[in-house]
Amino acid sequence: MENNPSSSKSDRKMIERNRRNQMKALFSKLNSVVPHQSSREAISRPDLIDEGTNYIKSLQIKLEKMKEKRSNLLESKMSENASMSMGLKSPQFKIQQMGSVLEVVLVTGLDFQFMFNETIRVLQEEGSDVVNASYTVIENEVFHTIHCQVGESANATLRISEKLKKFLYH
């Protein structure tokens, strides 16, 4: 068999041309998906590769942050659902004064009975006399109603309200 040097040379040229065309198509594809700093100027291939690399790294960082955020949200949601199913609920209260009578409505979850005791303690520390206290359980919530006798001073109501806020929400 005879080796034809011109045939071998033309094959290599064809292979090289195909390789260059493939590289050109790949660079064009990369150029179309990478956001550019300045889109008006032509960008060199090394700069395009550098921008592509930086873009991929920034996407990886964003992906990790989003995964972490998603994980935190799922944990928070699961914790919230678990709390609600177990009757845990952030306590809420409302105070209303009608003359010398003060009505305190405390709404808690099933596991916050100590809040009722602490509310009574705060009322007594502020000089009010508890006249009546009752509660009602509806599903996972407990509604405590406390009636007490206080002076006509609005300051007592304000002080009680501030102490209860401090205790319940901090």
Whether residues 106 and 38 fall in one domain: no
Supply the CATH number for residue 44's domain: 4.10.280.10
Whether residues 54 and 97 fall in one domain: no
The predicted-structure confidence for 33-79, as pLDDT tens digits, reads as follows 988 766 667 888 998 899 999 999 999 999 999 999 888 888 877 76
Buried (b) or exposed (e) across 78-89, using 16+ Cβ within 10 A?
A: eeeeeeeeebbb
End-of-domain residue from the set 82, 103, 129: 82
Please give the pLDDT value at position 43: 85
Tally the domains of the chain: 2
End-of-domain residue from the set 82, 104, 131: 82
What kind and span of H or E run contains 1? none
pLDDT mean over 81-98? 68
Say which range, 20-24, 94-98, 111-115, 159-163, has the weakest mean pLDDT: 111-115
The predicted-structure confidence for 8-39, as pLDDT tens digits, reads as follows 889 999 999 999 999 999 999 998 898 876 66
Phi-psi region of 153 (alpha: psi -120 to 50; beta: other; left: phi over 0): beta
Whether residues 67 and 98 fall in one domain: no
Whether residues 78 and 97 fall in one domain: no
End-of-domain residue from the set 82, 112, 147: 82
Which residue range(s) make up the domain with 136?
A: 92-169
d(CA 45, CA 34): 12
d(CA 147, CA 145): 7
CA-based torsion, 45, 48, 54, 55: positive or negative: negative
What tokens were used for 118? Answer: 């602490």
Q: Domain for residue 122, yes or no?
A: yes
Whether residues 47 and 101 fall in one domain: no
Q: Domain for residue 150, yes or no?
A: yes
Supply the CATH number for residue 105's domain: 3.30.70.260
Q: Domain for residue 13, yes or no?
A: yes
What kind and span of H or E run contains 90? none
Whether residues 61 and 99 fall in one domain: no
DSSP 100-163: TEEEEEEEEETT-HHHHHHHHHHHHHTTPEEEEEEEEEETTEEEEEEEEE--S-HHHHHHHHHH
The reported pTM is 0.46
What tokens were used for 7? Answer: 């045939």
Phi-psi region of 95 (alpha: psi -120 to 50; beta: other; left: phi over 0): beta
Q: Domain for residue 14, yes or no?
A: yes
